[in-house]
Structure 1
C-alpha cells in the first residue's frame, strides 16, 4: 500500500537523495518560510564529493534504465502522474509555505507536474528513428539514443514546475538525472520529486536530488559524466552555465530572464484588458520570467487604462497565503525585495509616476503601477521579477512593434485586440519565443514547446514530444548490408 503522505513517512530531513536518503558531506541547509521567517525543515546540502559519487552512480544506473522495456519507463511516468494528483494537497501546502505561493499558484504547479508526467509517459513509445532512402545497397536508418546523464538546475520561483518539466521527459527517454534545486525551495522543488519517483518505482540511482550552492551547480555542468544540462534561472547565471557547457560540447537548454510586453490596442475590451494585465503582472508576486512587465497601451485609451489598473490594483490583498486567501504572497527573500524596491524608487526619480504601491512590510510588497514609463525608466528597461507594472503609451502599430522589440530579452508576448488578424500580424513583427493573442504573457502547457530568444535563452527546448526528444536524445546513423562489399583500391 502506498504511503498516505510523501514527506512525513520518509527520512528526508537533513539528507540528500541518491536513490536512498543519507547525510550530505556538505552539511545541512535550513528551509525558511518567507511569510513568517519560521523554520520549516532541514535539507541536506550537497558538497562536491556528494556530487562526484552521485554522478558515478547515475552513469551506471542509466545504462540499466535505458535498457529497460519502454513500457516500464512509461508505467513509472504514469504512476508518478497519479501520485502528484493523490498528494496534491500536501505538495501545495509546501509550495505555499516554502515558496510563498498563493493557493491558486500552488495548484497550478502541482497540476502541471502531473501533466508533465502524463505527457512524458508517451515518450518511451515514440518511434526510435526512421529508415532513410539511399542509393547504396544497404538499409540506412537513424536511431534515437538517450544522451546519458542530464543535469537539471531549477530556480525558486516555480520550483516544482520548472524542475519536473525537464526531469520527467529526461527520465522517460532513458536518461539518469541529477537535479539541483534552489536551496530556498529544496523541499517543494527537490524532495517532493525524489519521493514521488521513489514511490512510483523508479530504480535506485536513476534520479539524484542534490540541493547545493552555486559552486555545486557549476561543478555539475563541468563534470565529464554529464552530457546535457537544463538550466532555468537568471540570464547572468545562464551565461556562466552556457560557457562551461559550450566548452564541453554538450546539449545545453537555457531558459532565462524576460521583460515581456503586453500590448493593448485601441479596440481592446478595456475591462478584460485590465484583468489580463493584473493576472500577467501580479501572479506569484511577479516572480515569473513570463510576467507582463511592460504594458504598452494605445494613447487613445491610455489614461483610462492606467486609472482602472491602479484602482483595481490598490484593492488587491497581500499577506500570508498559508493563513488567509490573498492575491499576493511574500517575496522570496529580502535581497529580491530590495532589488524590486530599488528599481521602483529609481524609476520615480527617472520620471515615472507612482500611481499605487511602491511600499512594503517585511517581505510583503504592495503591487505597484508606474505610469509615464518607457525607455530610460529602470523598471521598464530591466527585468523586475516583482509585482510592478510599468505602463507606457504608443500611437501607431509601428511604434508598438518597435517598443516591444526594443529589449535584450525575447521570451513572451501578449497582444489584446478585437481584431485577431491585426494581432497576429503584429506578433509576426516582434521576435519572442511565445506569443499570445488576446491573453497575457504567462502561459504554459506540457505538450507545447516553450523557450525564449536572445537573452531569454536557447529557444524552444522545453515541452512537447519533438522538443523533448531533441533535447534529451542523440541521433545515430546506422547502415546494414547483407554482406561486406568487395572493395578494390
Structure 2
C-alpha cells in the first residue's frame, strides 16, 4: 500500500474525508523540471469557517480521550512515516526541490516529532501549590481548543509536523494551511498519515489556499492559537491581525544568522561548517548562516577554502541525480537572490565563487569583503549566498554579530571555550551553537528567535505545553465552607 497511490486526494481538501474544496484546484509544480506533479485542491475562506466549527465540536471529545490513546495515534503516525519513508522522500524531493539528504532529514525529524509528541501526551501537565486554606490547590494545563498551523515551503514536512504533532497530542484540533507551492509534502502526506493512524475525523483538516484562507484561519472565533512559520513581514501582519481577537500567536520568522570564526580554529573544519550551514537546501532555511565573521588572521584562508567548497558543490535535480543542492523554489525567489548578489557586487563586495545560475539552479556563491551596507549581508537572502567579513577583536565580532534586526541563530567556532561562551552571552539569539554551524534542530529542544526572528518557542515538552495549552488554577475542597455573608 502507498499513501498517495490511489489518487483520491488529488484536487481535494481534507476535513476528515477527502472532499472538493470550494476554490479552484491548481497544479503542483516540480521546480527542477517545471513538470506538473498532481492537482492540489484549494479551500476558500468559507471552507475555513465550516472547518473551524467542525473542529471545535470534535475537539472536546478528543481532549477527553485518555492520554494513552492520543499517544497511541502519534506512535502509529511515527510508524507510518517510517514505513512510507521512501514514498514521502520522493514527494519532498520533487515538490520542494530538495536533495535526498535534505528530504531524509525531514522524514527522520517528522518521525522524531511524532515520538516526542506521543511522550508529551502522557507527560506531567501541572503541579500542586501550597494554599493557606484547607484545600488542594493546583496549576494545570488544559488544551486551547483549535490551533491554526500555517507552514512554509522550504521544509514543508517538518515545519508542519513540528506544530501539529504536539498540538494534537495535547488534545487540540488543528487546521493546517501549507504553502501553496508545497501543499502535497507539507499537507496531503501528513493528512494521509494521520488518516491511516486512526485520528478521529475533523481533528486535522487540510486547507490549502492563499492569503484569504490564512486570514480566515486567524479570524475564526474557534481558533485560539496560530502557529506560523515564514517571513518576518508576513509574521508581523499575522500578529497584528490576531491581536484584534486576542488570539495567541507563535511566530517563527526570518533570520540572518552570524557565524563567528575565531583565530585559533582549524580553518578547514571551520570552512566545512560554514559551507554546510550556509548552502544546505540552497540556503533556503531561516537558520542558515547569512554572515561569516572571520578573524583577520585567518580571513584569506577561510575565504579561499569556502570558495573552493562552493565551487565543488554539485547543483541539479535531486530526484534524478545525486547532487548537493537543488533548485531555488521559484522564479520570484531566484530573482530576489540574483538581485541581492548583483547589487552587492556593484556596492563593492568581491565575488569569489558562484554568482551564476541555469534556470532555477543557482550556484553557491561567496561574497568577500562585505560591509554593513552590502545588500546581501544586511538582508535575509534565503539563497546559497555566503557573505564574509573580517574582524580584529572579540569586541568587534560581538558588535558585528549583534548588528542585525534578526536574532535567530548564532554559531561560534573557537578553541577557547570561555571566549566563545562570552560571545554567546553578548549576542541576542534564540539558538546558540558553540563549535558548530547554525543549522541545527532537535525535536526535544525549544526552537525560536528573538527580535525580528519571532516570538515564543516550539519544540520540547515545556515550550510545547506553553504553546498549545492554557494555564488553569484549580482548587478542590472536601466540602463547601460557610462564609460570613
TM range (shorter): over 0.9
CA deviations on 1:226-271 (whole Å, 9 max, x unpaired) are 0001000000000011011222222210000000001110001111
Specify the alignment match of 1:377 in structure 2: 374
**RMSD in angstroms over aligned alpha carbons?**
0.9
Is residue 278 of structure 1 aligned with residue 275 of structure 2?
yes
What is the CA-CA distance between 1:308 and the residue it aligns to? 1.3
Taking the TM superposition and a 5 Å limit, the aligned residue runs for 1:85-234 are 85-234=82-231
CA distance, structure 2, for counterparts of residue 69 and residue 312 of structure 1: 53
Asked if structure 2 preserves the Cα contact closer than 8 Å seen for 1:432 and 1:452, the reply is yes
Specify the alignment match of 2:467 in structure 1: 471
CA distance, structure 2, for counterparts of residue 217 and residue 347 of structure 1: 34
CA distance, structure 1, for counterparts of residue 315 and residue 466 of structure 2: 42
Taking the TM superposition and a 5 Å limit, the aligned residue runs for 1:242-253 are 242-253=239-250
What is the CA-CA distance between 1:476 and the residue it aligns to? 1.1
Asked if structure 1 preserves the Cα contact closer than 8 Å seen for 2:75 and 2:114, the reply is yes
**SS of 1:45 mapped into structure 2:** coil
Is residue 267 of structure 1 aligned with residue 264 of structure 2?
yes
2:74 aligns with one of 74, 77, 85: 77
Asked if structure 1 preserves the Cα contact closer than 8 Å seen for 2:287 and 2:409, the reply is yes
CA deviations on 1:261-298 (whole Å, 9 max, x unpaired) are 01110001111111111100100000000001100000
CA deviations on 1:33-90 (whole Å, 9 max, x unpaired) are 0010000000101111111111111111101111111111000000001111111110
2:480 aligns with one of 477, 481, 484: 484
Taking the TM superposition and a 5 Å limit, the aligned residue runs for 1:337-486 are 337-459=334-456, 461-486=457-482
CA distance, structure 2, for counterparts of residue 458 and residue 10 of structure 1: 39
TM-score by length of 1: 0.98
Asked if structure 2 preserves the Cα contact closer than 8 Å seen for 1:101 and 1:284, the reply is yes
Asked if structure 2 preserves the Cα contact closer than 8 Å seen for 1:154 and 1:233, the reply is yes
What is the CA-CA distance between 1:398 and the residue it aligns to? 0.2
CA distance, structure 1, for counterparts of residue 478 and residue 185 of structure 2: 55
1:333 aligns with one of 330, 335, 340: 330
What is the CA-CA distance between 1:10 and the residue it aligns to? 4.9
Asked if structure 1 preserves the Cα contact closer than 8 Å seen for 2:49 and 2:216, the reply is no
Cα distance change on mapping 1:10 and 1:133 into 2, 3 Å? farther
CA deviations on 1:147-194 (whole Å, 9 max, x unpaired) are 000000000000001000000000000000000000100000000100
Is residue 68 of structure 1 aligned with residue 65 of structure 2?
yes
TM-score by length of 2: 0.99
Larger CA deviation: 336-345 vs 417-426: 417-426
CA distance, structure 1, for counterparts of residue 302 and residue 353 of structure 2: 14
Taking the TM superposition and a 5 Å limit, the aligned residue runs for 1:303-318 are 303-318=300-315
Aligned residues: 485
Specify the alignment match of 1:18 in structure 2: 15
Larger CA deviation: 214-223 vs 136-145: 136-145
CA distance, structure 2, for counterparts of residue 311 and residue 166 of structure 1: 38
CA distance, structure 2, for counterparts of residue 128 and residue 450 of structure 1: 20
Runs (5+) with no aligned partner, structure 1:
none
Larger CA deviation: 417-426 vs 467-476: 417-426
CA distance, structure 2, for counterparts of residue 195 and residue 10 of structure 1: 11
Asked if structure 2 preserves the Cα contact closer than 8 Å seen for 1:95 and 1:101, the reply is yes
Specify the alignment match of 1:296 in structure 2: 293
CA distance, structure 1, for counterparts of residue 106 and residue 391 of structure 2: 35
What is the CA-CA distance between 1:9 and the residue it aligns to? 3.0
Asked if structure 2 preserves the Cα contact closer than 8 Å seen for 1:29 and 1:183, the reply is no
Asked if structure 2 preserves the Cα contact closer than 8 Å seen for 1:410 and 1:452, the reply is yes
